[in-house]
Amino acid sequence: MSTATLPVDAAWGPMPKKRAAYWLAGISVALITVCLVGGNVGIVFALLIALMLTGIPVSIALGLTVLMFLFLLTSVPIEAVAMKLFTGIEKFEIMSIPFFILAGNFLTHGGVAKRMINFATSLVGHWHGGLALAGILSCAMFALVCGSSVATVVAIGSIILPEMVKQGYPKRFGAGVIITAGSLGILMLPSIPKVIYAISTNTSIGALFVAGLFPGMLLTSMLCGTTWFIAKKNGYPRMPKATWKERWNAFRQSVWGLLLVVIIIGGIYSGIFTATEAAAMSAVYAFIISVFVYKDMPVSSTPKVMRTSASMSAMLLYIITNAVLFSFLMTHENIPQLMADWMLSKDLGKVGFLFLSNILLLLAGNVMEPSSIILVMAPILHPTAIRLGIDSVHFGILIDANMEIGLCHPPVGLNLYVASGITKMSITELTIAVMPWLATMLVFLVIVTYWPGLSLWLPRAMGMM
């Protein structure tokens, strides 16, 4: 074997064969120990970890873990597995995922982001770091109608980052702002991770949507505070103060996009349509304003946008299908109940359990993307949370906040890779760039974790739970 094929140690170059062998032996011993000590629970997770360590995508690792365990260690008939593959994704709520993805792509290509940026700039552009603050507010407004963090970073970042550099902001500063503010895409009203959590735990999607509004507003304020402090300290540029007439004109231009918030909340709250139907309405409305109102997207681009959306939807649905199989295996082996009994036997209490949940979710964010984390971890942690008296909606927002942080740090932080494509900066540079805002997000996570009223007051006031 040549050194080119050996594992690479970043600090020491190619890893020597002897060291690689020690690592392989150590990992093997650890996994075998987990199997012996944990019984069926240990075998399941050892199989999953072993497959993931080979570099297999998480979705395929989930499916292979189920098939290997069921065929080798149980007598479950193959017909049950095949049936579960089809029935597992027959839930009506899953239909909202492709619709929200389609709506987000229409909004990204249809000029909505550009008008939201103009409106936000007219409001705060004259403050210290005004353009950066406008970027955060734009991300928050776009997140209200989109539901995807990556789409938020693409839509806002591709417009505002070049303008920030042009005005004299350091590229690293602008990237740090947009990477972290883009994560608001999964916390504010519509959110694909919220839909996946709702499906995994039978929680109200409408209540989850509304519950993210106040936490999202708080995080927006905290990110703005951090940005303003850094900008003032370093003397970053300010823009001329806009007149009230200019603000009104900017608002009129952006109002068609912002009306989507009214459609989603108003429709669900009034009972006109469900959350899934709200997703379909969002896609139709986004198409209309992009093509016929703003006219920034030609009709000829519609097939391309729909193909892109279909591809993204298929990828997510494939992950969900394999995760449903994994959930079936865990239920068959009574793993969630065993895990809940074990956690309760440790007498952690609410405070300790929530702290442990955050640690596990943050660690998972290092190796998995949000959809996979929710589909694997939610069925395990949720039963314990319910038995401890933790509200399901509050726990869902807590998981969402953890997923936001995972999107902003390596090695699999999707926002970092999207921003890298926009700025042409390395992942290492971007990792350093996000640190001040990442620290702010960790403080926000503590607040969301131990202040359930922040998430629950609004859905309760609206009678949604």
Amino acid occupying residue 20:
A
Query: Distance between CA atoms of 221 and 287, rounded to whole angstroms?
Result: 31
Residue 337: exposed, middle, or buried by beta-carbon count in 10 A (0-12, 13-18, 19+)? middle
Query: Distance between CA atoms of 395 and 398, rounded to whole angstroms?
Result: 5
**Distances in Å between the alpha carbon of 402 and those of 42, 184, 364, 377?**
25, 12, 10, 12
Strand (E) positions, 94-176? Answer: none
Quote the pLDDT of residue 440.
Answer: 92
Is residue 29 a part of any domain in this protein? no
Q: What mean pLDDT comes out for the span 189-206?
A: 83
Is residue 119 a part of any domain in this protein? yes
Structural domain that includes position 222 = 92-320+392-461
Query: Would you call 13 helix, strand, or coil by DSSP?
Result: strand
Is residue 309 a part of any domain in this protein? yes
Q: What digits encode the pLDDT tens for the residues 275-293?
A: 778 888 888 888 888 888 8
What DSSP element (H or E) covers 427? Answer: helix 427-433
Nearest to 156 by CA among 140, 144, 167: 140
DSSP state of 140: H
Query: Distance between CA atoms of 194 and 455, rounded to whole angstroms?
Result: 13
**Distances in Å between the alpha carbon of 386 and those of 16, 86, 260, 338, 375?**
49, 29, 33, 14, 17
Name the pLDDT band for 37 (thresholds 50, 70, 90).
low
Amino acid occupying residue 219:
L
DSSP state of 94: G
Quote the pLDDT of residue 18.
Answer: 66
Q: What mean pLDDT comes out for the span 94-103?
A: 81
Q: Give the residue with greater pLDDT, 6 vs 385.
A: 385
CA quadruple 221, 447, 336, 372: dihedral, nearest 10: 20
Is residue 220 a part of any domain in this protein? yes
Count of structural domains, the chain: 1
Is residue 10 a part of any domain in this protein? no
- Burial call 434-445: b when 16+ CB within 10 Å, e when fewer: bebbbebbeebb
pTM of the predicted model over 0.85: no
Residue 339's φ and ψ, nearest 5 degrees, are -65, -40
What is the C-alpha R_g of the chain?
A: 23
Q: What digits encode the pLDDT tens for the residues 198-251?
A: 888 888 888 888 888 899 999 999 999 999 999 888 888 888 888 888 889 988
Query: Distance between CA atoms of 161 and 263, rounded to whole angstroms?
Result: 30
Segment among 16-20, 120-124, 191-195 with least mean pLDDT: 16-20
Mean pLDDT of the residues in the chain: 80
């140690």: which residue's tokens? 9
Query: Distance between CA atoms of 114 and 156, rounded to whole angstroms?
Result: 7
Find the angle CA(431)-CA(112)-CA(424) to the nearest 5 degrees: 30
Q: What digits encode the pLDDT tens for the residues 303-330?
A: 888 888 888 788 777 777 777 777 777 7
Query: Would you call 8 helix, strand, or coil by DSSP?
Result: strand
Q: What digits encode the pLDDT tens for the residues 122-153?
A: 888 888 888 889 889 888 888 887 777 777 88
The percent of the chain in helix, strand and coil, each rounded to the nearest 5, is 80, 0, 20
Quote the pLDDT of residue 360.
Answer: 84
Nearest to 370 by CA among 343, 336, 408, 321: 408
Is residue 427 a part of any domain in this protein? yes
Distance of CA 319 to the CA centre of its chain: 14
Q: Give the residue with greater pLDDT, 375 vs 382.
A: 382
Is residue 139 a part of any domain in this protein? yes
